[in-house]
Amino acid sequence: MKKLLENYKDVIQRLPFKDKYEKNELLTEDFLIDKSNNIEIYYAPHNEYLNSKAKIFIVGITPGFQQMSTAISTAKKELDKGEDIETIKYKCKVAGRFSGSLRKNIISMLDEIKLNEAMNVESCSELFEEKDYLLHTVSLIPYPVFVKKQNYSGHTPKLLKSDFLMKYIYEDFIQELKSIDNFRNILLIPLGKAVEEVLEKLSEENIISENQILKGFPHPSGANVNRLVQLQQNKESLINQIRENINPEIIFEDK
């Protein structure tokens, strides 16, 4: 059963208010959801808001610690103010979705492959701001995953070969995807090869269509020092995939 803010609001409210937390404050038994050997999964509240009218899904592997910290800090502030739970979930999503330099990199890379033109916006930054009704950001695994207390990258262990982690994709990610209106019309943008491989497996199982997957989009993390080279190498293919798979006539339906 998916863990929700309602289950953790008391634990969050007991935290000291901070803009940023340290790992020793959040990677605790209070937030631990599941573990297997040196893999640990913790709760964070920024994958609970669902944009059911989205036309684009940006898909990561799992929230990192920075996103976890930002989302919990936002939840703490809003709970202390007495804001209602559903509004807090949305605010956590807005604050935590690929926060920091990662979001900046994503936006510039998406503009480079002309997604902004296909979406009829000046820049993809608008998808994170006033036109965020077009965008849903999501993780294959909805909660932060750590291996030896470090952000899980999808490779050690390899995601496709980890039954422990893949169960979250089948139990959570697929159900979230299917709750979206006309989910087979959504363009799925995987952040990195590990996510792309999982989406390809789901297409082989006929859960999604292969042409929904934007293939070859590099992981935008600053740790991926080759991302801009990879982007240039794949740029023409990425632009063509966007042109072929985004129907401008349906982008602004059902705002």
Encode pLDDT of 141-156 as tens digits: 999 999 999 999 998 9
Exposed (0-12), middle (13-18) or buried (19+): which is 216, by Cβ within 10 Å? middle
Cis bond before residue 63 (omega within 30° of 0): no
Which residue in the block uniquely carries the two structure tokens 């050690």? 156
Mean pLDDT for the chain?
A: 92
Confidence tier at 221 by pLDDT (50, 70, 90): confident
- Residue 52's pLDDT is what? 85
Q: What is the mean pLDDT of residues 230-237?
A: 96
Which residue in the block uniquely carries the two structure tokens 């038994």? 29
> Per-residue pLDDT tens for 159-214?
999 999 999 999 999 998 988 878 888 999 999 999 999 999 999 999 999 999 99
What is the layout of strands, in order, in the sheet containing 150-151? 32-36, 39-42, 145-147, 150-151
For the chain, how many residues are written? 255
pLDDT of residue 51 exceeding 90, the answer is: no
CA atoms within 13 A on the CB side of 201: 14
Which residue in the block uniquely carries the two structure tokens 């695994």? 141
Q: Considering the entire predicted model, what is its pTM? A: 0.91
- Whole-Å CA distances, 122 to 108, 109, 134, 149: 12, 14, 14, 39
Q: What is the mean pLDDT of residues 218-233?
A: 92
Distance CA 75, CA 178 (A): 27
Q: What is the mean pLDDT of residues 95-110?
A: 87
